[in-house]
Chains A and B, each alone.
Chain A
Amino acid sequence: MSAAAESAGLAIEARGLTKRYGDVLALDALDLAVPTGSVFGFLGPNGAGKTTTLRLLTGLGRPTAGTAVVAGIEVGRGGTDLARRIGYLDQDPRFYGWMSGRELLTFVGRAYGLAGATLRSRVDEVLETVGLADAAQRRVGGYSGGMRQRLGVGQAVLPRPAVLFLDEPVSALDPEGRRDTLELIGRLRGASTVLMSTHILTDVERICDRVAILDHGRLVAEARMGDLLARNARPILEMDPEPGQDLAVASLAAALRAAAWTRDVRAEHGILRVVVTDAELAAAEALPLVVATGVRLARFERVRPTLEDVFLQLVGADAAGAPGSTEPAP
């Protein structure tokens, strides 16, 4: 299987990967194929099974059923061979508080067999890259959550692994840290394969080549980013009402929701987003509904669907809170 995966140009291949905790099915027969050198986004609402998958693929957990091959090595076999070829960042990275940032990276480098001047220069380089050069001598116990996450990214990329697993790598970072870390991940494209789980869909749109969406332990979609949007995204109408028309806007939302050609109506920062099932009918009937409810619009536009729209469509309304910016319609 490992030779087959490698010859197919896959850095990660999972077949029927299943994990059960007692009665809870955390992961249900996951089949996953991640091409070598890609930056792969792994999406799903809370409890979808993303972290479980990452733990199984890194060998920290044991599957109830199924197999996986990572970097040509069958997970669960071969002792530390798999660890030599991967880097891993936990969603809540925890390190030894008594070590300094530099000591921790040096420790990790030694675990991967680096030594001497090579190790020192690589540690310096990583500290600089993740923006911790000034805090290198400080104890990790005194780091903020964001600094710990930067250090986590640093220790994961330090050995230049063939496959990098990042569980929510930017969740605790400020906007600047997020931008820098995403740029760093993007620069790894081609040199490493990155499997990144996240809730922040705009980040995925920004750097990922391919995306998989997991829901209740099951894979609901997996494709190149563009293909996923083209295949699953439905047309969306955006209506931006003038302020001070709450009652009329609520009536319009109700009328839109009752229309046969709508799939979903949501309010985002005061703007109505209408997911449409039949674009022609919508074009004919949407504006008359606006007129009938007496809502004055500042803008009426057909927009390009985003990954968030596809995500919500595929995982349903339960996940509406997960991506962050969406709120229910009035």
Chain B
Amino acid sequence: MTGLRLLLRKEIREQARTMRLLAVVAVFAFLGLLSPVFARYVREIVEAVGGGQFGGLIPEPTAGDAVAQFTKNIGQFGVLIAILVAMGSVAAEKERGTAAFLLSKPIGRGAFVTAKIVAIGTLLAAALGMGGVLCWIYTTILFEPLPALGFAGAVALMWLSLAAFAAVTFLASVVTRSALAAGGIGFGVFVATGILSALPTIGPFMPTSLWGAADAMALGGVPDGLAGPVLASLALILAALGLAWWSFRRQEL
């Protein structure tokens, strides 16, 4: 792929220089830090706000609550950030005209698409990794030590679910000429996935079902039926990226 290394370096430098890297990592770090702290002190917060009336209704918090809080936050804010990161990746370059500038140089279209995908995946991995490490440290401090390997596996499952939504949004970014439209499609798929996950037949294969599995894995358990959503998410990612590559090769700039 002609120019892949050059483009990868450019993508990473662009993320750093435009503060995108810092912003995304900061948000995930905040979620990783906040989740165990919120889980630990939710009783105190409710008691303080409700004047001691409701504190007894909330059970003693556990490490499982901290993990569930983190998974829930990633499943909401994390997905929205993944969509935001992917929506402009190609559409904005086409809108601005920088894609035409780049591709009039000896740079392959495959390299262009691949560099974008790798950059998005790496950014999400770095940010989620940072958030995961902070969540693990604070959960260990505030509750009990969590199994490191299981927690790492849980973070990997969360990354897979984010990557699935990012991949669909990326495909929309390639197909459309508008970052906003791509974001809208990505968000629409996110909402539709949430609805479909309630269906017993296909629900277990949705990327959203990875979050429940991540919860169990982070606490050292082995989730049942993990292969289905993992393989389905991988298939969705590969299909979206393959379609994006196929579409971009045929586009006029």
Q: A residues bordering B, Cβ < 8 Å?
A: 55, 58-62, 79-80, 83-84, 86, 88, 90, 92-96, 98, 107-108, 110-113
Contacts and interface: CB of A to CB of B under 8 A. Distances in A.
B37 to A, nearest CB: 35
A60 B2 CA distance: 17
Nearest to B97: A94
Interface of B: 2-3, 6, 10, 14, 17-18, 96-98, 100-101, 103-108, 252-253
B97 A111 contact: no
A285 to B, nearest CB: 54
Contacts of B3: 80, 111
B97 A84 contact: no
Nearest to B18: A98
Given A60-B253, A80-B2, A111 B106 contact: yes
Given A80-B2, A96-B14, A111 B105 contact: yes
Nearest to B103: A60
Contacts of A94: 96-98, 100-101
Give chain A's interface secondary structure class: loop
Contacts of A55: 252-253
B77 to A, nearest CB: 26
A96 B97 CA distance: 10
A59 B252 CA distance: 9
Nearest to B107: A111
Contact of B98 (A84, A95, A112): A95
B105 A95 contact: no
B103 A92 contact: no
B105 A98 contact: no
B106 A90 contact: no
Given A90-B97, A90-B100, 5 more contacts: A61-B252, A83-B106, A93-B101, A94-B101, A111-B6
A96 B2 CA distance: 20
8 contacts: A79-B2, A79-B108, A90-B100, A94-B97, A94-B98, A95-B98, A96-B10, A111-B106
A112 B2 CA distance: 10
Interface centre among A84, A86, A111 (most CB of B within 10 A): A111
A166 B155 CA distance: 50
* Most B-side CB within 10 Å, residue of A79, A94, A95: A94
A20 to B, nearest CB: 12
B251 to A, nearest CB: 9
Contacts of A62: 252
A79 B105 CA distance: 11
Contacts of B252: 55, 60-62
B101 A90 contact: yes
Given A62-B252, A94-B96, A111-B6, A83 B17 contact: no
B248 to A, nearest CB: 13
B100 A112 contact: no
B108 A60 contact: no
A80 B100 contact: no
Nearest to A108: B105
Contact of B17 (A80, A88, A95, A98): A98
Contact of B10 (A79, A80, A92, A107): A107
A287 B143 CA distance: 106
A84 B107 CA distance: 9
A88 B97 CA distance: 13
A58 B102 CA distance: 12
Nearest to A58: B104
Nearest to A59: B104
B18 to A, nearest CB: 5
